Every structure is written in structure tokens, then in C-alpha cells.
Amino acid sequence: MFTLDTEVEIVADDIREQLDFESRVRPETPASQFLRAFVRQTEALGILVMRNGIVRQATNRPLSVEEFRGFSIADPMAPVVFINNVDSNSAQAFTLAHELAHIWVGRGGISDADPTLRSDDSEDVEEFCNRVAGEVLLPLRGSR
């Protein structure tokens, strides 16, 4: 497990390595194919990924991306990521990478939640997870 003191690149490299991005998941593939492969690889690690865009079974009650894009539960035995699939495929991929960063540091979270509901250090966690997600999907140092 990593902490917020770990370099962003180290966490991102580990996520990419665990997902075997280089041989199985290619960010340059079409967004829908990339997202499906990204979810499959995440689930192969034992992380449950759920995607939905409505409240319960009510198709007339879509989830709002303004309210949240996803969340994670960083339980060591049963980690879970939920992605709001009303969002675009590219945004869902970023949310998945962001939520994986939460799991890697052992601190679940909600993407784009109301800031008034956050704990004192959650801004640091969210910023860190955003940076890791960006590095997972588009590494600054090129392909690893």
C-alpha cells in the first residue's frame, strides 16, 4: 500500500504494472474499447467495478455527473469502484483511474462530491488521486 507521501509517478507506475497496461490495455484505442479493457483488467485484480447511470431501476432518474462521477471503497478484502456511466467514456476512464488511486492509498472517496461534506485532508487526497489518474492514463515520461 502507498501513502500520500509516495511520489505520484510511483503509484501510477504500480497501477499500470498491475493492470498490465502495456500489453493488454492501450490508451490509444477507441475510448469505448479502452474503457471495457480497463474495467476487465481492474476486475481481474479482484476489484469490483460497478457502472450505472440511473437511480434504482428508474430510467427517468439519471445520476448527475455534477453531483458525482464515482466512488471507491478501499476495503483490503473487497475493494469496490462505482462509476457514473452517464459520463463520457473518457471521463469514466479517468474516474476509474482516480478511484484506483484511492484504493492504492487505502482511502476510499467520492469523485466530485460536495466539498462541504469532505474531511479536512480530503482536498489533498483528491488532488493526489487526480494527479495519479492523469499519470496512469497519460504518463509524462512517455510509455513505461
Domain boundaries, the chain: 8-137
Q: Is the pLDDT of residue 144 over 50?
A: no
Task: Give the residue carrying C-alpha cell 428508474.
Answer: 58
Where helices occur in 25-88 by DSSP H, the ranges are 31-44
pLDDT (mean) for 45-51: 96
pLDDT value for 82:
95
Task: Select 8-137's CATH number: 1.10.530, 1.10.3470, 3.30.420, 1.10.10.
Answer: 1.10.10
Q: Taking the model in full, what pTM does it have? A: 0.86
Q: Is the pLDDT of residue 138 over 50?
A: yes
To the nearest whole percent, how much of the chain has pLDDT over 90? 60
Task: Give me the count of residues in the chain.
Answer: 144
pLDDT value for 107:
93
Q: Give the number of other Cβ atoms within 10 Å of residue 13's Cβ.
A: 18
Helix, coil or strand: residue 70? strand
